[in-house]
Structure 1
Amino acid sequence: MIRVLLVDDQHLIRAGLRMLCDAQPDLEVVGEADNGRDAVSLAERLAPDLTVMDLRMPGLDGITATGRILAARPAARVLVLTTFGDDDHLYPALNAGACGFLLKDASPEDLLDGIRRAAAGDSPFSQDVLRRLVRRAMQAPTGEPRTAVALTARERDVLALVAEGLGNTEIGERLHIGVTTVKTHVTSLMTKTASPNRVRLALYAHGA
């Protein structure tokens, strides 16, 4: 069971997220907060597996709250869910320690997939955000050239779509395979390429 803490200053958003999570057999909402200060307190008291964090909130904002949560519990997982996907919000959130960054226009399927992946140690990103991260990383100086690995034809198909920034659900629809099968291929790709998350996997696909 994945224990989730929801943080958003809009009651309607929190209610929708709770309903979405409560309908899943493997997710349990253990707490809610409408501001960063309460989020830090609840995260310390409840020790959730994952905190779903809004960024713009009155009082203590989500970026500062994320930093404080991770300062107190370095192994904590904080997944940003926000309306604002610009660099002024993205990079400070990642610098604060957020493990992923999803936009609120994500489909319910992609949001649930992101929650599960974040709790499992992955780094989920919305498609546009991932593309921007990859572009920025590709502009940076490169290190040693990547090591070629043997991939199956299907793994190459999946890798190409990861490089486009597609989520598991979108990849499954594009390739006409189940989401579970996509996850299996992505896990295999990460293992073969020694990529700790989807950003690094996308960079591998681009030859960075």
Structure 2
Amino acid sequence: MNVLIVDDDKIVSRSLATILSVQPDIEIAGCGSDGDEAVSLFDELAPDVLLMDIQMQGRDGLSAAEKILASHPDAAIVFLTTFADDEYIVRALKMGARGYLIKQDVSTIAPALRSVMGGQRVLEGEVLEKAVALGAGISPARDEGALAGLSERERDVVRLVADGLDNGEIARELFISDGTVRNHISAILAKLNLRNRTQIAVFYYRNCMG
């Protein structure tokens, strides 16, 4: 996939370009630094995915996305931001953004982009919870089929991994030990034929979200 990156912090955009470009299935189409550049570069480069910040000097990411989607209604736009603001989330999802990620764990970005290319909408855990609570067109999980082979406790662990919790946080949430969490994760990986935590999260959002 060809990815256009737009962020007003040039260090961030260069770092993202470096990290993503080592993926065998990702090419960096270009980089921009504000919403106006996002609009012009999208028209020029026609990327498969636009990965864009929201708060930027000049035209912001949400305004740029609205302009792009007006001309390219099938554009795959994924927001990558530090702000899980309710208004931003609702506006982004209602306009048709394919993803809303929080700048935390860069290792989740490439799998998220692959899910978007596969036709999925990808939301970071905190964003997903807010979107459901706000009624922003997102339904609660429908995981009975996809997770049918897991125990009830293993399903709980999958949901918490998808929410971005680490082992210690999951242990405290479920009142179990860290070792038990590790055992559950090992069992989940084996049963779902997955390799790591990131794949657990991607599997959940791809197969269990309405």
Equivalent residue number for residue 38 of structure 1: 37
Equivalent residue number for residue 125 of structure 1: 123
Contact 1:21-1:27 at 8 Å conserved across structures:
yes
Equivalent residue number for residue 175 of structure 2: none
Q: In 2 relative to 1, CA 151–35 (structure 1 residues): closer, same or farther, beyond 3 Å?
A: closer
Distance between the aligned counterparts of 1:166 and 1:58, measured in 2? Answer: 32
Contact 1:5-1:32 at 8 Å conserved across structures:
yes
Gaps of 5+ in 2: 168-181, 190-194
Shift of 1:72: 1.0
Equivalent residue number for residue 111 of structure 2: 113
Equivalent residue number for residue 64 of structure 1: 63
Q: What amino acid is aligned across from residue 5 of structure 1 in structure 2?
A: L
Q: In 2 relative to 1, CA 158–129 (structure 1 residues): closer, same or farther, beyond 3 Å?
A: farther
Q: In 2 relative to 1, CA 30–136 (structure 1 residues): closer, same or farther, beyond 3 Å?
A: same
Equivalent residue number for residue 13 of structure 1: 12
Equivalent residue number for residue 154 of structure 1: 150
Shift of 1:149: 5.6
Contact 2:6-2:52 at 8 Å conserved across structures:
yes
Equivalent residue number for residue 73 of structure 1: 72
Distance between the aligned counterparts of 1:182 and 1:151, measured in 2? Answer: 11
Check if 1:26 corresponds to 2:46: no
Contact 1:56-1:62 at 8 Å conserved across structures:
yes
Q: What amino acid is aligned across from residue 65 of structure 2 in structure 1?
A: T
TM-score (norm 1): 0.74
Shift of 1:185: 5.6
Contact 1:110-1:169 at 8 Å conserved across structures:
no
Deviating more after overlay: 70-79 vs 119-128:
119-128
Distance between the aligned counterparts of 1:57 and 1:47, measured in 2? Answer: 21
Equivalent residue number for residue 203 of structure 1: none
Contact 1:126-1:165 at 8 Å conserved across structures:
no
Shift of 1:37: 0.8
- Count residues with an aligned counterpart: 184
Equivalent residue number for residue 2 of structure 2: 3
Q: In 2 relative to 1, CA 54–184 (structure 1 residues): closer, same or farther, beyond 3 Å?
A: closer
TM-score (norm 2): 0.73
Q: What amino acid is aligned across from residue 96 of structure 1 in structure 2?
A: M
Shift of 1:46: 1.1
Q: What amino acid is aligned across from residue 149 of structure 2 in structure 1?
A: A
Give per-residue Cα distances to partners, 1:140-179, cap 9 Å, x unaligned.
9x9xxx8x869632396775456447169979x7622124
Shift of 1:94: 1.7
